[in-house]
Every structure is written in structure tokens, then in C-alpha cells.
């Protein structure tokens, strides 16, 4: 097991933000940092950042687990560009079923919540957050108060799930007195949580795509993209509070639920980190 060390560099904490599928770039960032000998003293995650951060802290085989993560249970995104009348009717039916589920229940995630929890339990080895190789914190949003809630102890499966529970896709986690959903709604980059761990330096990772080469093709994509756009100004202010921000660059537009691009996202995180080695070296020099 890799131990956090400050013998060769300053103590630093990582803030891993959301981004859906693009958030898997965090795995590439972590691997590239560790390959250079930079071991974080703590990790703070939001949404997909919570999934990656908790997996790193709790699973010795964290990288392989994330690369091989089962994403088959995520809702399919209707594609009305498919050729043929029969195919288009099939996609229309998929869209109508998704709309029905969101209106009368918790969306397509109501059918996949059990699957999702199973995946998260496997990634985090069924452990508690406080049992990791380094302190791990995940942030969720209380839908009653609208406030950020931070967890550093307790069942990792529950609290990572709550941090990544997208509205309209997955049901919230009811954890009295909270009703918890995706942490990015209240704080996309909780830099203050990372500083509170006592780290000398805070490095954040921002896998957002401010500009899309192609527009949304359906209502679900439009909904997810609108949430991202609404977060931009708040995100800018939050990321400015970090000492350094790693921003993976993606060669194509990658939607929140396009997990078929996960290897591309992981690679983008590694490349962005390698390109920042000189800056990181100066920042972390003892």
C-alpha cells in the first residue's frame, strides 16, 4: 500500500471535482502524480471525483478497478441521428420512457440504484471512509437546505453514492436529517475542505468542457449541459482558491454520461499532469 509522504515534497491535498465521465480523468491525474513520486496527504471529492478519490484511498488496486469499472447500468442516451425509421422509433421510445420515469419517480436510476451501489461497494471494498490509506472526504448537497455536507467518516458506498447522485438520474440518499444528492450542485471544488486537512498546498482538478464542439442532441443532454453552464462562474471562483489547477483537455465533446469514452478521459488526465510536472515540481519543492 502506498503511504502518504512529505519527505521529498510539501504536503498537498487533492480536490477532485465532478464532470461525469470526464471525471474519470482524475484517475489519470493521480497515476501521473504518483509516478513522479507525488503522493497526496488527503483527497476531497465531489461527484465523480468522490468515486475516484474514495477508490484511491480505500482500494489497493484502485487504478485497475476504475479502468475496469462497470458502466453498463448508466441510462442510455437517446440518439435520434441513427438511420432507419425502426431505429428512430426505438430511440424515441427510450426517450419517452426516461421522461415518464423522471416525472413519476426518480428517473431511470430507480432501476439501477442497486447496480450502482454494488459497483461503488466493489470499488471501495465495502469500507468506511475513515479506513483509507489517506484521509478521504466526499461532499454532497442537502436538497432540503441547499447546503454542502461533508463526510469523512461512515459507509463509503452510501456517501460516495450521495455525492454522485445526479438529479433526474438517481434517487437521493435519505440520511436523517439530510436528503443528499450530487455535491457539485452546492460546491464544485471544495478547496476549503482540503485546506482544513492541514495540507500546505491544494491542487485541484477541473475536467469541465466550457465549449462544446457540438450542441445537445436531445433533452437529457440539454439538461446535463445546462447544469454545467450554470456552474461555470461559481466554479471559476472556487478553483481560483486552489494553489494550482490541472485542466485535462479533451479532443472531442464528451457528455456527462458518455462513459464509453472513459479511457480517453483517463488518458487526458495523465497527459495534462505530465505537462504540468515543472509547475508542480516548483510548487511542491520542500
Residues carrying an active site annotation: 47, 182
Maximum alpha-carbon separation in the chain: 64
3-state DSSP percent of the chain in helix, strand and coil, to 5? 45, 15, 40
Rounded (5°) CA angle 102-104-106? 45
Burial 235-267, CB ≥16 within 10 A → b, else e:
beebbebbbbbbbbebeebbbbbbbebbebbbb
Q: Are 9 and 253 in contact (CB under 8 A)?
A: no
| CA distance linking residue 119 with residue 72, whole number of Å | 10
Of 282, 210, 283, the C-alpha closest to 253 is 210
Amino acid at each position: 500500500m502506498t503511504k502518504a509522504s512529505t519527505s521529498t515534497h510539501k504536503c498537498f491535498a487533492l480536490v477532485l471535482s465532478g464532470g461525469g465521465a470526464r471525471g474519470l480523468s482524475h484517475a489519470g491525474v493521480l497515476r501521473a502524480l504518483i509516478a513522479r513520486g507525488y503522493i497526496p496527504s488527503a483527497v476531497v471529492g465531489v461527484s465523480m471525483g468522490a468515486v475516484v478519490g474514495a477508490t484511491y484511498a480505500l482500494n489497493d488496486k484502485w487504478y485497475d478497478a476504475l479502468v475496469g469499472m462497470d458502466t453498463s447500468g448508466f441510462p442510455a442516451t437517446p440518439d435520434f441521428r441513427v438511420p432507419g425509421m425502426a431505429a428512430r422509433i426505438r430511440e424515441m421510445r427510450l426517450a419517452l420512457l426516461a421522461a415518464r420515469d423522471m416525472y413519476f419517480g426518480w428517473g431511470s436510476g430507480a432501476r439501477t440504484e442497486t447496480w450502482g451501489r454494488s459497483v461503488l461497494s466493489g470499488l471501495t471494498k465495502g469500507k468506511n471512509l475513515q479506513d483509507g490509506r489517506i484521509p478521504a472526504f466526499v461532499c454532497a448537497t442537502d436538497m432540503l437546505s441547499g447546503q454542502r455536507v461533508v463526510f469523512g467518516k461512515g459507509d463509503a458506498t452510501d456517501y460516495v453514492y450521495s455525492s454522485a447522485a445526479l438529479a433526474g438520474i438517481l434517487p437521493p440518499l435519505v440520511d436523517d436529517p439530510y436528503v443528499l444528492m450530487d455535491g457539485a450542485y452546492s460546491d464544485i471544488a471544495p478547496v476549503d475542505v482540503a485546506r482544513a486537512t492541514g495540507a500546505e498546498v491544494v491542487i485541484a482538478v477541473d475536467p469541465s468542457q466550457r465549449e462544446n464542439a457540438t450542441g445537445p442532441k436531445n433533452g437529457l443532454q440539454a439538461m446535463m449541459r445546462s447544469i454545467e453552464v450554470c456552474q461555470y462562474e461559481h466554479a471559476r471562483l472556487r478553483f481560483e482558491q486552489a494553489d494550482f489547477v490541472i485542466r485535462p483537455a479533451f479532443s472531442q465533446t464528451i457528455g456527462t454520461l458518455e462513459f464509453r469514452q472513459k479511457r480517453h478521459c483517463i488518458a487526458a488526465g495523465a497527459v495534462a499532469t505530465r505537462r504540468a510536472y515543472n509547475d508542480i515540481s516548483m510548487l511542491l519543492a520542500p
